Structure 1
């Protein structure tokens, strides 16, 4: 039990009805989870308004209600806290409730359109290999040192974040690396956290179903750096024109990285093959098993972050050479019939372009590059023609198919993708709605030496159609199909 007045520290309060001297057991923003002596925080979401559930929460035993608008009926035995923003209040209260766990470790947030998962996961891997106890909050998995938990969101809700951080404190974790999504920033999920540093990767076309304009999407990302304290560091990719924008109003110490322009941390690509990259980073050569220009940026961001967190340069370079690729990020296999299959999470135009350009820079052009790609349903539809244009322009053959159609008709999504194909590329393309059949067709089209790229789902092990999730793992499916074709 905790005193309400203690967990309200730093919350912007408009008014109080009742006593703040009451002891409370737990915080919830979902009224269904409320038990006696709990706090219910009524958050206005994009689909549901928590204010509609205040009475239900009180009936279930809520002792405290935190809301932006006081209800017309005020219960005599309930304390009401009227706040400026319920989502901000939730984040700050969650941090206070769990004893501000982010202050007891070094928390680094990674934001941007592409590269967040790779950078956060590889930093976790690097610091583990260096002998530290480390935490990870990512799209793929949550890790409390050696314990792994299933991830549900790129950036979890504030209560979940602080609960995991508290567990990390209990386990003696020294560093935590966290993906910070634009949704998470916009919904104030990272408020109340103390960051040691922040990394900006890049900004490209994504999430415009949520943010509506690219400028709003950019400014939400920028807010993460605007809120950083002066003792933190901010390291940004200045080859992306939005990199300098992220630093405009930050109080944090400013650092830059780039491959093509002057920066604090620079790299040159000396060799690029399917077995890895040879890089020269700030004058020193290092070999990494990661592949492609986009991974050169990721490695550079990792190098900069590790140095800024206090690791020695030589040690960082050694640890980079030991890093293994992240599940679903340029994850590849070579079949017995000498067909290379690559599975990648590329689900934005920029990410797809990066992966295809990487493959084209490595291959000899004597082989076919067959791409299997789709787009998710109930998400930003404006990127679909761009995905179709890029896939058809940079591949020798393309199979358009379903990704996670969710509530939309797969055929309608595929038509949107096809609309971006230019006339000269029509003959390269075919459309197969069922994803496994599309992958099978790509395998059947491939000859020895050819390359198959399966893009869009990466690490995901499910497919969502009409609200139903079923098991679906691109890597396992292509591995199985290529084995079957060799028999």
Structure 2
């Protein structure tokens, strides 16, 4: 594509060369650059693309977009702009012919509930015959095709490519998790959402955002770029988002009066039943995932779909058709007659851990046993909080390693233990052994919650990443214990 077309709507200064040349592809990783490519220097969390300009040019870059002065670069076209992340987003959209304009894009943000909500919306839309794309933590889906996801929200270049694939495959709706990182780093810059959902806001990612106010303001960006804001007003910050968002708004809640209202909950171990009311019509929903917080996810998903003109009856049909979400309150012992249940959940924040343990308590007839830890190289202020929550809400707790990354696992565990105020816990550093210990402890009618990793099939250690799928691990342990 001609560079002039790629640079459309970008404010820039031409420092060297000319902008009337053909570009093969756009790259922001110098290692991927080939002859005739455009290289965009973006500043990452731990590195800066400007450091790799010479490498990109050596690999054949025909043009470079930068935001800093680069000395002695005369071999190619050099374009300077104020914000290269915004430039990358606009250039990618131009390169792929603005595919998001040909889709209805629904975005969801919040600390917890994003993944489950995207699968709920996908189920509702597909039940009505729409072809759906999904972008999120577990995987990316283009219709029926599953693509590995490397981050919650892809970088803008990959994002526009995925949108283009969806358009080519005849997708009607794209539902996507929109992380606070992606909003702050302009990965979704220039995309107009038809529906934007806010689930909740609790402590997370302060290692990146530094303050809670920064975290909130990052989330709010989504609600400045949507036709309709769908907001959980039971959440303290949701009330604020509702006030701060612009344009059309739809509220949902259980505890307050709202446009979409949930009531009459009845919990059981394999799901939850509730009523949903919208515009004086009520439908009874039998959801196949337990937990009050999943009712909240269902209400937000319903509100977004209702905002797209669907009926309450069709929302009921779609919600009830969804059987489970991988690693989200997933009962992995359904096919075994153990006498106790084991639940795998992605809960890795204080609020997430509290939600899953309170939910499990609702249907636990015996003792509630938790297995949890905290990830390394992440916000360490939440570690003692999770230690306190995990032990207070469990009858027995096994504190273990999560994804320690570059940190020492026992150092992380010691920080978790500083928040503990009960003596109902043990420490087992090895995560597999910790899960096995919990299962050895379990008696009839007990429930074990293994929290933190959920759908992940790996564990990130200091020097390597190992295969670690908790469903497989639990199946192996069942065989060992039944020998």
Same fold, judged at TM 0.5 (above) = yes
C-alpha separation in 2, matches of 1:269 and 1:97: 50
C-alpha separation in 2, matches of 1:250 and 1:303: 20
In 2 relative to 1, CA 343–61 (structure 1 residues): closer, same or farther, beyond 3 Å? same
Structure 1 residue aligned with 2:276: 281
C-alpha separation in 1, matches of 2:338 and 2:104: 47
Shift of residue 15, structure 1, vs aligned partner: 4.7
SS in 2 for 1:420: coil
In 2 relative to 1, CA 350–57 (structure 1 residues): closer, same or farther, beyond 3 Å? same
Structure 1 residue aligned with 2:377: 378
In 2 relative to 1, CA 71–104 (structure 1 residues): closer, same or farther, beyond 3 Å? same
Structure 2 residue aligned with 1:448: 444
Tell me if structure 1 keeps the 8 A contact 2:364–2:445.
no
- Over aligned residues, Cα RMSD in angstroms? 1.3
SS in 1 for 2:318: helix
Tell me if structure 2 keeps the 8 A contact 1:402–1:433.
yes
Shift of residue 250, structure 1, vs aligned partner: 3.4
Tell me if structure 2 keeps the 8 A contact 1:269–1:277.
no
Structure 2 residue aligned with 1:345: 346
Q: Which runs of 4+ in 1 moved over 6 A?
A: none
Tell me if structure 2 keeps the 8 A contact 1:14–1:84.
no
Tell me if structure 2 keeps the 8 A contact 1:36–1:60.
yes
Matched, 1:186 2:187: no
1:71-86 → structure 2 map (5 Å cutoff): 71-75=70-74, 77-86=75-84
Tell me if structure 1 keeps the 8 A contact 2:283–2:312.
no
Structure 1 residue aligned with 2:54: 55
Tell me if structure 2 keeps the 8 A contact 1:197–1:234.
yes
- The one of 455, 458, 478 aligned to 2:474: 478
Shift of residue 131, structure 1, vs aligned partner: 1.8
Matched, 1:468 2:464: yes
C-alpha separation in 1, matches of 2:346 and 2:399: 15
Tell me if structure 1 keeps the 8 A contact 2:124–2:317.
no
C-alpha separation in 2, matches of 1:484 and 1:251: 57
C-alpha separation in 1, matches of 2:68 and 2:270: 58
Tell me if structure 2 keeps the 8 A contact 1:118–1:329.
yes
Matched, 1:410 2:405: no
Structure 2 residue aligned with 1:29: 28
C-alpha separation in 1, matches of 2:200 and 2:378: 20
SS in 1 for 2:97: coil
Tell me if structure 1 keeps the 8 A contact 2:375–2:402.
yes
SS in 2 for 1:172: coil
Shift of residue 249, structure 1, vs aligned partner: 4.3
TM-score, structure 1 as length reference: 0.95
Comparing 368-377 and 49-58, the one that deviates more: 49-58
1:429-472, Cα deviation, whole Å (9 max, x unpaired): 00000001001100110111111110000000011111311111
1:291-347, Cα deviation, whole Å (9 max, x unpaired): 101101011011111111222221111221111110000001243221111110000
Structure 2 residue aligned with 1:250: 245
Structure 1 residue aligned with 2:337: 336
Shift of residue 475, structure 1, vs aligned partner: 2.0
TM-score, structure 2 as length reference: 0.96
Tell me if structure 1 keeps the 8 A contact 2:16–2:79.
yes
Tell me if structure 2 keeps the 8 A contact 1:112–1:221.
yes
Structure 1 residue aligned with 2:125: 127
SS in 2 for 1:341: strand
Tell me if structure 2 keeps the 8 A contact 1:207–1:379.
yes
Shift of residue 480, structure 1, vs aligned partner: 2.5
Matched, 1:96 2:94: yes
1:396-419, Cα deviation, whole Å (9 max, x unpaired): 000000111111110001001100
Tell me if structure 2 keeps the 8 A contact 1:100–1:193.
no
Comparing 469-478 and 407-416, the one that deviates more: 469-478
C-alpha separation in 2, matches of 1:148 and 1:86: 30
Shift of residue 359, structure 1, vs aligned partner: 1.4
In 2 relative to 1, CA 239–248 (structure 1 residues): closer, same or farther, beyond 3 Å? same
C-alpha separation in 2, matches of 1:270 and 1:180: 29
Comparing 185-194 and 399-408, the one that deviates more: 185-194
Comparing 267-276 and 410-419, the one that deviates more: 267-276
Shift of residue 247, structure 1, vs aligned partner: 3.5
SS in 2 for 1:343: strand
C-alpha separation in 2, matches of 1:16 and 1:117: 44
The aligned length equals 477
1:209-228 → structure 2 map (5 Å cutoff): 209-226=207-224, 228=225
